[in-house]
Structure 1
Amino acid sequence: MSALLLGAMTDSALRPLPDRATALLVELHAPPRLAAHLRAVHDVACQLVDWVRQHYPALPVDREAVLFGAAIHDIGKTKHLEELSGPGSLHEQAGYELLLAHGVQESLARFARTHASWNEADIGINDLLVSLADKIWKAKRVQDLEQLVVDRLATDQEPWEVFMALDDELTRIAAGADERLAFQSSYPI
């Protein structure tokens, strides 16, 4: 493993990636910037899941699945390096297939495919939380995605109350975006 990849996976106060995600990144010789990005999104996913579990404990959220999903959602960019610095969606299906080929079960590999497809019919709360983490890590707000999350959370509260609570949490998380962006930018593609 290169010193830069090691640094992207260990430097900063961001939470470490799950061991299986780290092993995959090493095995695939992931670019350091991708590892840094995945750590930033994973760290935000940890914050989101913990908040949801605290405020909506009856909602069936699979913490480990969401955290793994956040840690590998862009792994297809190891095959589509051009999408590390530019737009594109080829990495989504490629990541899904890559994870399956490396023995990751479909229920976890799916996050590589679903993280940018939150309007599909089979998208659950776990997928939505990975998608939301992938946006809010850099303080990007996506109204339709946030509304889908509100709709899933609003089981015994008024939707406007849930919206206000989620908005406060996303604003709090977004406040750390500059540090996360600087961390990611400090590693080469």
Structure 2
Amino acid sequence: MPLSDALSRALHAPADPPLRALPSPVVDLLRSLDAPPRLAAHLRAVHDVAVQLVDWLEHRHPRIVVDRAAVLFGAATHDIGKTVHTAELSGPGSAHEEAGSALLSDLGFGPDLARFAGTHASWTAPGTTLEDLLVSTADKVWKNKRLPDLEDLVIAHLVQATGGQHWEEYLAFDDLLTRIGDGADGRLAFQASFPAPSRP
């Protein structure tokens, strides 16, 4: 299958569970970069989970102000640096983080959006926002990976913002992540249907 056809399929093909479309500017960006289809499939899965997280937050805590558009853009572009460091699509590495932020900045995206490419794996850094934590959480729970330290930071933000009980927020958030995690096998299978580029 030609690369452009595979990329189109990664961006638009039906999946089980269903995956929402990426924001139009991100679709255009991935096409302009001739992004690896596997990366597009991954970004689509993480973005879909981020939508679920933000929807839940807005429904449960409508008074908490969260930059929905920034979270969804961040989830949809967090690994954009892997268009530069393609070996990190199938292997470990963090070079894509700084490269992704720089790439988005060079393309005219402001620091409020470009930052997620660099912060999605550093949720304990000073100044980490709830938006950063939601992108980081989406990047883990899409494949049903649970990180208690990360989840505790999200819960702490919710407790601080609402004055609620920690145990109540924990139970509600855990229930959400469990339900999202139930779809992980389908999301992983969708991503795996797009082979990673050969390593150099």
TM-score between the two structures when normalised by the length of structure 1: 0.98
**Hey, what's the Cα distance between the residues in 2 that align with 1:105 and 1:187?**
31
Following TM superposition, by how much is the alpha carbon of 1:175 offset from its aligned partner in structure 2, in angstroms? Answer: 0.2
Matched, 1:174 2:181: yes
Task: Give the RMSD, CA atoms, in angstroms.
Answer: 0.8
Over residues 107-157 of structure 1, what are the superposed CA-to-partner deviations in whole Å (9 max), with x where a residue is unaligned? 000000100000011110000000000000000000100000000011221
Q: Displacement of 1:188 after TM fit?
A: 2.1
State percent identity of aligned pairs: 59
SS of residue in 2 equivalent to 1:2: helix
Choose the corresponding residue for 2:122, options 109, 117, 125. Answer: 117
1:77 touches 1:84 (CA, 8 Å); kept in 2?
Answer: yes
Cα distance in 2 between the residues matched to 1:11 and 1:158: 42
Secondary structure of the residue aligned to 2:115 is helix
Q: Which amino acid aligns with 1:28?
A: L
Give the equivalent residue in structure 2 for 1:3.
Answer: 5
In structure 2, stretches of 5+ residues that fail to align are: none
Q: Within 5 Å, which residues of 2 pair with 1:16-95? A: 16-95=21-100
Aligned residues: 189
Q: Distance in 2 between matches of 1:19 and 1:105?
A: 17
- Tell me which residue corresponds to 2:172: 165
C-alpha separation in 1, matches of 2:65 and 2:117: 21
Once the 2 structures are TM-superposed, how far is the Cα of residue 163 of structure 1 from its aligned partner? 0.4
The CA distance in 2 between the partners of 1:175 and 1:142, in whole Å, is 16
User: Contact between 1:132 and 1:146, CA under 8 Å: does it hold in 2?
Assistant: yes
